[in-house]
Amino acid sequence: MYEGYETLKVVREGKIVTVSFNRPQLKNATNPQMHRELARVFPEIGRDSEAHVVILTGSGDTFSAGGDIDAMRTSLDDQARWMESMVEAREILMGVIDLDRPVIAKINGHAVGLGATLALVCDIVVAKDTARIIDPHVKVGLVAGDGGSVIWPLLVGYAKAKRYLLTGAPITGAEAAAIGLVSEAVPGDQLDARVAEIAQDLAAGAAVAIRLTKRSINMALRQQMDALIEAHLGYETMSHLSADHREAITAFAEKRPPVFVGR
């Protein structure tokens, strides 16, 4: 098992599987290959009878820098690939939610865009206190449609969620823990030990009870995601076709501020 991954590193040690975003030279930004591998990995873990706990983290000093700008530029005129990515986005989120093993997000550095959303749908989220969690979809002319608009309000309420999703503003791990966006935040030199402690405690626990408790808790989350995600991805697709999104990507390539026109 766990063979053929190029952008993820997947390792099982005993009962614990660690999945690492593995493009450290690009700050673990997601590209089409990583998208496909993320859609595959969680169902594969679900078929591994020896896997009891999952840790999701990033290689190097970043959790995930979000979408790869080069991939975004390519997708501007490749609508078939964009539609594939929307299907995969749903599969990725549901892969974590439906997996009956507890998933711990170890936010070891900045978590951006889909990286942030994926971390926040995990069951336990432990962040480095100085890491920044950001959903900057609006900054590149996109709707936060890949689950961010679902999970942020569920965790922190509409008022705080709108504060961050409508502006694309960052929040530190420490601030996120204070408002309940993540489970806890610790200094960077304590992160590995804290996550290992939680993982070992879960791995030694009553697997059937833990798995069914996760399923029970996630019933409401799954209902929400099922009810909303298709519409949210549709809105993201509408914004993908906008002049503002094209301008944001062009401006990034030209190293200048975007000039949005509201179309």
Task: Write down all domains in the chain, each with its CATH number in brackets.
Answer: 1-188+203-263 (3.90.226.10)
User: Judging by DSSP bridges, how do beta strands 184-186 and 111-112 pair with one another?
Assistant: unpaired
Contact assessment for residue 111 and residue 63, using Cβ atoms and an 8 Å cutoff: yes
CA 32 – CA 6 distance, rounded (Å): 11
> Would you write out the chain's pLDDT as a tens digit for each of its 263 residues?
899 999 999 999 999 999 999 999 999 999 999 999 999 999 999 999 999 999 999 999 999 999 888 788 888 888 899 999 999 999 999 999 999 999 999 999 999 999 999 999 999 999 999 999 999 999 999 999 999 999 999 999 999 999 999 999 999 999 999 999 999 999 999 999 999 999 999 999 999 999 999 999 999 999 999 999 999 999 999 999 999 999 999 998 899 999 999 99
CA 254 – CA 188 distance, rounded (Å): 35
CA 39 – CA 62 distance, rounded (Å): 21
DSSP state letters, the chain: ---S-SSEEEEEETTEEEEEE--GGGTT-B-HHHHHHHHHHHHHHHT-TT--EEEEEESTT-SB--B-HHHHHHHTS-HHHHHHHHHHHHHHHHHHHH-SS-EEEEE-S-EETHHHHHHHTSSEEEEETT-EEE--GGGGT---TTTHHHHHHHHH-HHHHHHHHTTT--EEHHHHHHHTSSSEEE-HHHHHHHHHHHHHHHHTS-HHHHHHHHHHHHHHHHHHHHHHHHHHHHHHHHHHTSHHHHHHHHHHHTTS-------
At 149, list the tokens: 């608009």
CA 166 – CA 41 distance, rounded (Å): 31
Contact assessment for residue 119 and residue 173, using Cβ atoms and an 8 Å cutoff: no
CA 24 – CA 109 distance, rounded (Å): 11
User: Within 10 A of 17 (CB to CB), how many other CB atoms are there?
Assistant: 26
So what's the pLDDT on residue 69? 81
So what's the pLDDT on residue 120? 98
So what's the pLDDT on residue 241? 95
So what's the pLDDT on residue 73? 82
